Structure 1
């Protein structure tokens, strides 16, 4: 069992990582929620697979709890879903002392966290991520939000949870596709942390598909620790340090939108990292040796990530919607090598299109 304390400026909270964390830390949830009533936001698929675990959690709570189940997809990460949650909370007379518990992947956490951040001007919430991607990335750091106007996460808030419970039992029911999505973010952290961790991931990533506990625990712990340290120093992306966490994401978010969300976020991240590597090389920041090394892992997933026919010009235009841009230019996080990054890098259209075409060549129709 691991416990990582994150000292974010707005809230200090613990992240628990281990097997059967929910059962073992039911008292921790009650110590935070007290005798107050709660709403549990849960992905319908997660509820179907883990009904007994979730119902046991509901029964263990000191206060009354209502369960809101929804299909967790990008379409439902919306104002309409938010309204349904608020309507239910009002009907059940939940107030400022109430608690929200989000159980699911990144979409569930983003939606639930945003609901908690604005209902009654902010109520406490706990995130219980159930996908590898959410465990290593989106559950940490307090980014919440919904999609609007064909733009991903454009409405949201920075709002830290009271606690994050990472129960690795959930991983055992994830299909290969979801494990691959999580590995996309793990690869990103390998490039952010340095060559030692990247090399470890490169040599052992296949163990994730065998649900190898040692690899998964190390991948989760290293990723959470790194992201937590970035959040502590730059919670709301004011100093620029936290921007490094967006490696590959400027491309990835555009790919998701251009593909009409028919490709999952973690898959788009892998493709986006490939584009960022090629752009880093094209701008002379990364030499050919490192490009070849890092791409050698990316191309391993080429047969598992299939993009529909894409339009580079459309992708380029979508990138301008990225909330991290400034002064009308697209800002990228690029690499010299693993652990050595450049933030707010700019590139002309020709080089960006070069990166798109070369980066996405591995993920053909």
Structure 2
């Protein structure tokens, strides 16, 4: 088992990566489980695979699991979903010193974490990520949020978990599409800041998606290490360092919004397309070569992820996509910084990007096949 500390000012927590962690949940959580009743938020897909395992571990340790099982999908990460979780936690008499378990992917982690952040002005929570995307990205770093009609993750809080248990066994239950979506966040760490890891992903990406445990272990561990370093340096995204983790997200969130945050485009697929667009726009601006931009696209496409917009059939123009970007959380004094590339493995924030030029660029991308 790999143990990665997330070192923050005055506090820290661990991310543990390994097998059979959910079956050993009582020993892993230790004193964080301070009362006999343990509240767990999950969705019906995850519950079908892992409820019995978690139940067995908790019962064997003398605990009583209490379950809130939500409908799966992005729609749960909403005002209505938040209200449902909050009402349930209050009915369960969860106290500020308790820990709520978030068992699931990014939706469950974000929603439960935000509920924990505001319940009685803040209670504890433990992340039990069951998707590759959640294990390498959303479960680490304390960003919690819900979506609104105006856009994705616009209402939320920074609220760090007390512990993250990334059980690699959970990945065996994922459909290949979900594995690919998670892999987008793995290769992101190579593209934005680690050329050697990008090279490793080029050579081993198919093994990660295909279920080779040693490759998955390395990919998750190295991704968490990279994110932990960045979060420790810039927990609340004030210096610009943590903003680099948004590589692909400005373009990707616009595509997600245009598809109605639906199953047409999973978040990881949006990030993958967004990274391709960020690389191509970096080439348009003269920061990297067109051949490097297409190398990024090729590495992403080799895992089965999308690299072109046209197949989505969006029926919009570049200006419509830019309009979605105006709701981006990174907007500052009327300008929107973009995470672009000076090289593969070297991302930076460009604060001088013309949104009109982005619109023209996207018009061209919408025509590519």
Instruction: Give TM class, smaller chain.
Output: over 0.9
Correspondence list, 1:219-234, <5 A: 219-234=219-234
Cα distance change of structure 1 residues 84 and 349 upon mapping to structure 2, 3 Å threshold:
closer
> Normalising by the residue count of structure 1, what TM-score does the alignment of the two structures yield?
0.94
CA contact (8 A) 2:251 2:325 kept: yes
- In structure 2, the residue matched to 1:308 is 313
Q: Secondary structure at the match of 1:50?
A: helix
CA contact (8 A) 2:208 2:219 kept: no
- In structure 2, the residue matched to 1:283 is 285
Cα distance change of structure 1 residues 236 and 25 upon mapping to structure 2, 3 Å threshold:
same
For residues 88 and 324 of structure 1, what CA distance do their matches in structure 2 show? 33
For residues 193 and 232 of structure 1, what CA distance do their matches in structure 2 show? 16
C-alpha displacement at 1:36, in angstroms? 5.5
C-alpha displacement at 1:333, in angstroms? 0.5
Aligned length: 363
Do residues 328 (structure 1) and 334 (structure 2) align?
yes
1:272-291 Cα deviation digits (max 9, x unpaired):
01110111111111123322
Q: Secondary structure at the match of 2:323?
A: helix
C-alpha displacement at 1:93, in angstroms? 2.1
C-alpha displacement at 1:359, in angstroms? 4.8
Do residues 149 (structure 1) and 154 (structure 2) align?
no
For residues 324 and 62 of structure 2, what CA distance do their matches in structure 1 show? 47
1:286-309 Cα deviation digits (max 9, x unpaired):
123322322222333366984132
Do residues 59 (structure 1) and 40 (structure 2) align?
no
CA contact (8 A) 1:259 1:308 kept: no
- In structure 1, the residue matched to 2:112 is 112
For residues 10 and 276 of structure 1, what CA distance do their matches in structure 2 show? 36
For residues 217 and 363 of structure 2, what CA distance do their matches in structure 1 show? 35
- In structure 2, the residue matched to 1:176 is 176
For residues 64 and 52 of structure 1, what CA distance do their matches in structure 2 show? 13
CA contact (8 A) 2:258 2:314 kept: no
Do residues 339 (structure 1) and 345 (structure 2) align?
yes
1:218-275 Cα deviation digits (max 9, x unpaired):
1101110000000001000011110110001001111101111231000000110111
Cα distance change of structure 1 residues 68 and 244 upon mapping to structure 2, 3 Å threshold:
same
Q: Secondary structure at the match of 1:205?
A: helix
For residues 183 and 273 of structure 1, what CA distance do their matches in structure 2 show? 13
Correspondence list, 1:40-55, <5 A: 40-55=40-55
C-alpha displacement at 1:88, in angstroms? 1.7
CA contact (8 A) 2:101 2:125 kept: yes
> Normalising by the residue count of structure 2, what TM-score does the alignment of the two structures yield?
0.93
Structure 1 alignment gaps of length 5 or more: none
Superposition RMSD on alpha carbons, in Å?
1.9
Correspondence list, 1:189-338, <5 A: 189-262=189-262, 263-300=265-302, 301=304, 306-311=311-316, 312-338=318-344
Correspondence list, 1:8-27, <5 A: 8-9=8-9, 11-27=11-27
Structure 2 alignment gaps of length 5 or more: none
C-alpha displacement at 1:112, in angstroms? 0.5
CA contact (8 A) 1:254 1:315 kept: yes
310-319 vs 123-132, greater mean Cα deviation:
310-319
For residues 302 and 95 of structure 1, what CA distance do their matches in structure 2 show? 43
For residues 121 and 349 of structure 1, what CA distance do their matches in structure 2 show? 39
Cα distance change of structure 1 residues 141 and 310 upon mapping to structure 2, 3 Å threshold:
farther
